[in-house]
């Protein structure tokens, strides 16, 4: 027989860095778009995802509804996932790019907490410590006046918008963590393409309803914004593809740690293209959040390696 070609060492980590870069550039373009609501941007993103996933559903013959016993989980996965996307896009529009990106990195910490509550997974003192670190990082970024005084520096626009963006980013993180718990609950009984299909379809329906209620639907005024919308859809899709490929050929622990490059890219792009220098409070919050998410990823990775060795024995 033919010998199987060995995988390129570090290819999965390279895919992770590339995915982080694509997501960060998409976030930068979102900051550059003018007078388009985050819900409308999310609707365009869902259209691109549907166009990509539809051929995959036909090729793998998964159907469009999924197994009967899993449809309710798929619905909530789609609803919570699309809600997380809309809230995150809103946070990107009203607060500094690096601040919103850092808050999203508390997701692994909250995933562990929700998995302990709903899936009865182990939650140790280390997990509690990482959760407290993540909350400390968010507080340093939000900088509430009752702790930091009335003069809050390093924000975009008014403090009320900064606070709304922080709340939206936290809600987005909790929604994303809930989707991870649902995906973990469903396991491998549902194809990955079907999961994304529910995410895109439910997200698009929800965005259309929200746009009619808010009366925010409008076409971009200039060609530049239309190009940005297309690029956001393509870059977001490319980021998802490379992240999926990374998880297929590399362990989840190293991928989670390398994904912290999102924060690095966000800081660099914010300084170079948005002319917004991060404050030391933001840097301190970023260090707390990255430390907590990396610590959580390392613990989960070591635990999975230990269980794999026990199975081999």
Of the candidates 52, 42, 285, 63, the one whose C-alpha atom is nearest the C-alpha of residue 155 is 285
First to last CA, the chain: 30
Average pLDDT, the chain: 82
Tell me: pLDDT of 217 over 90.
Answer: no
Look-up of token digits 């798929």: 74
Rounded Cα gap, residues 228 and 103, in angstroms: 24
> What is the per-residue pLDDT across 70-104, written as a single tens digit (0 to 9) for each?
888 889 888 998 898 889 989 988 888 888 888 98
- The DSSP 8-state label assigned to residue 8 in this structure reads P
Q: Write phi, then psi, for 135 (nearest 5 degrees).
A: -65, -40
Q: Which of 43-57, 83-97, 237-251 has the lowest mean pLDDT?
A: 237-251
Q: What is the pLDDT of residues 180-210, one digit of tens each?
A: 888 777 766 777 778 888 888 999 998 989 8
How many CB atoms are located within 10 Å of the residue 59 CB? 9
Supply the pLDDT for residue 21: 93
pTM of the model: 0.82
User: Which residues have CB under 8 Å from 301's CB, separation 6+?
Assistant: 251, 252, 253, 254, 256
**Residue 250's pLDDT band (boundaries 50, 70, 90)?**
confident
Q: How far apart are CA 193 and CA 201, in angstroms?
A: 12
Burial of 231 by CB count in 10 Å (0-12 exposed, 13-18 middle, 19+ buried)? middle
Rounded to an integer, the average pLDDT of 166-176 is 91
Q: Give the C-alpha separation, 269 to 211, whole Å.
A: 30
CA distance 11 to 152: 43
């Amino acid at each position: 027989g033919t010998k199987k070609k060995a995988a390129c060492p570090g290819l999965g980590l390279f895919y992770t860095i590339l995915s982080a870069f694509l997501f960060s550039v998409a976030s930068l373009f979102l900051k550059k778009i003018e007078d388009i609501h985050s819900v409308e941007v999310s609707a365009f993103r869902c259209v691109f995802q549907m166009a990509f996933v539809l051929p995959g559903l036909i090729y793998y013959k998964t159907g469009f509804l999924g197994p009967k016993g899993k449809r309710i989980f798929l619905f909530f996965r789609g609803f919570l996932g699309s809600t997380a996307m809309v809230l995150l896009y809103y946070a990107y529009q009203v607060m500094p790019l690096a601040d919103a990106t850092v808050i999203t990195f508390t997701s692994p910490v909250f995933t562990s907490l929700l998995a302990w509550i709903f899936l009865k997974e182990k939650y140790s003192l280390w997990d509690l410590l990482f959760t407290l670190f993540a909350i400390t990082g968010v507080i340093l970024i939000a900088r509430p006046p009752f702790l930091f005084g009335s003069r809050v520096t390093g924000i975009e626009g008014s403090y009320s918008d900064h606070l709304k963006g922080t709340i939206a980013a936290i809600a987005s993180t909790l929604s994303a963590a809930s989707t991870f718990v649902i995906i973990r609950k469903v396991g491998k009984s549902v194809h990955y393409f079907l999961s994304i299909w529910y995410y895109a379809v439910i997200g698009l329906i929800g965005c259309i309803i929200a746009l009619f209620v808010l009366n925010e639907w409008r076409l971009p005024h200039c060609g530049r914004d239309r190009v940005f919308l297309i690029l956001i859809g393509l870059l977001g899709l490319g980021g998802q593809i490379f992240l999926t490929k990374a998880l297929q050929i590399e362990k989840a622990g190293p991928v989670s740690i390398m994904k912290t490059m999102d924060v690095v890219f966000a800081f660099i792009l914010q300084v170079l293209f948005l002319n917004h220098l991060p404050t030391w409070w933001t840097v301190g919050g970023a260090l707390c959040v990255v430390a907590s998410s990396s610590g959580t990823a390392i613990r989960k990775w070591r635990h999975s390696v230990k269980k794999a060795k026990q199975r081999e024995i």
